Amino acid sequence: MKLAFCLYKYFPYGGLQRDFLRIARECVDRGHQVTAYTLSWDGERPHWLDVIVAPVKAASGPAKYRKFTRWLTDRLQQFPVDAVMGFNKMPGLDIYYCADPCFEHKSRHLRPWWYRLTPRYRHFSRYEQAVFCPGQSAKILMISPVQQALFERYYGTESDRMIMLPPGISRDRCAPDNSTEIRTAFRCEFGLNDGDQLLLQIGSGFRTKGLDRTLKGLAALPETLRQRSKLFVIGQDDASAYQSQAESLGIGGQVRFFAGRDDVPRFLQGADLLVHPAYAENTGTVLLEAVVAGLPVLVTDVCGYARYVAEADAGKVLPSPYTQEAFNCELAEMLLADKSQWRDNGLQFAQSADIYDMPVRAADVIDQVLERKLETVSD
């Protein structure tokens, strides 16, 4: 059957984008024809996927998204499909994959009061309502119990429309048999000595991920520890403001930025601690990727997948409300601690946890939606 998969932007290293591609691949493997509709596509286009970039331009993001919605509606009238799946909130969806946090909650707790008077707020609020308000028909694929509770709180969304999926990390993130050799080669390549401590932060959207907090924490380490600590940052974002912050904190020479990479598993093996002091995070796939790689994690409890770090006992979860002093203390303690138990706990968790089958479960729901549509037509 024919499926339309809709997302605003595709680039190779985003968590949402990787989930989109893996679900699309599973659907194609089941015999469906999937067409991706997007505003931009950065990177290689898979041979098995039809990709159509909408010829839409506008002065602002919200205006562009509204034009995309109108263009997509017209397009699907000309070339009908059996179901429309969205990876961003927008009207007209049969299925929504909820990778983004509750916009209304963020607007009330992470923005000044006057933000809710702006045209930008009105646009994203309407698009969120088009999915979550009672009476809408879209099935919602949830990946965070924390966020599900927020949507139910703000919108009263029907529980039978919200379907919780397990995480869906790739098994290539698990520590391989030759992890020791990979770590040794990695640290040699980047000039890291045995006594050096490498912090790793991964994720596009440096502001939301709390990179400013990480830089302050690194600068606040005791002098001897700070001198032998480095921070590698991987993500598709503008690093200039954070490079300036690092320089002003006196740690510019200890921080290195990388664009999105295909060899993230090497970094997970070569580092000593993953830091993720996010301000808001629907899930945080990288947290699970670090756990199954055996890399200890320091994370804030606002992240949906922080509960897996606690469940596996593979690091520390900072409770809300966040304080920089608490982060600084935990960071120093974890760097000085024997990390072997956290690593062993993570590796053991990787062997038994239900954290790999999200694309399969998502495709199951898509098939169920298609079946119900067929039944409705036949009736």
Residue 375 confidence class, pLDDT cut points 50, 70, 90: confident
Full-model pTM = 0.79
From residue 134, alpha-carbon distances to 85, 128, 160 in Å are 19, 12, 11
Residue-level pLDDT at 173: 86
Mean pLDDT of 206-212: 96
Q: Is the peptide bond before 321 cis (omega within 30 degrees of 0)?
A: yes
From residue 224, alpha-carbon distances to 199, 233, 246, 259, 336 in Å are 16, 22, 18, 29, 11
Q: Mean pLDDT, the chain, as a whole number?
A: 95
Structure tokens at 95: 């299925």
Q: Which helix (H) or strand (E) holds 95?
A: strand 95-98
- Which of helix, strand or coil describes residue 226? helix
DSSP string, 228-293: TEEEEEE-SS--HHHHHHHHHTT-GGGEEEE---S-HHHHHHH-SEEEE--S-BS--HHHHHHHHH
Mean pLDDT of 115-137: 97
The residues near 245 (Cβ < 8 Å, ≥ 6 apart) are 212, 215
Q: What percent of the chain has pLDDT over 70?
A: 99
User: In angstroms, rounded to a whole number, what is the distance separating the alpha carbons of residues 315 and 291?
Assistant: 8
- Which of helix, strand or coil describes residue 4? strand
Given a contact cutoff of 8 angstroms between Cβ atoms, the answer to whether 125 and 107 are in contact is yes
Residue-level pLDDT at 238: 93
Residue-level pLDDT at 14: 82
Residue-level pLDDT at 377: 73
At 283, the amino acid letter reads T
Chain centroid to CA 232: 18
For residue range 282-316, list pLDDT tens digits in order.
Answer: 888 899 999 999 999 999 999 989 999 999 999 99
For residue range 82-110, list pLDDT tens digits in order.
Answer: 999 999 999 999 999 998 889 999 999 98
User: In angstroms, rounded to a whole number, what is the distance separating the alpha carbons of residues 133 and 183?
Assistant: 49
Dihedral-angle region of residue 107 (phi above 0 means left; psi in -120 to 50 means alpha; beta otherwise): alpha
pLDDT of 281 above 80: yes
pLDDT of 379 above 80: no
More confident position, 13 or 3:
3
Going along the chain from its start, the domains and CATH numbers come out as: 2-166+357-378 (3.40.50.2000), 171-352 (3.40.50.2000)
Mean pLDDT of 310-332: 97
Residue 169 confidence class, pLDDT cut points 50, 70, 90: confident
Mean pLDDT of 150-161: 96
For residue range 229-250, list pLDDT tens digits in order.
Answer: 999 999 989 999 999 999 999 9
Mean pLDDT of 41-46: 94
Given a contact cutoff of 8 angstroms between Cβ atoms, the answer to whether 7 and 16 are in contact is yes
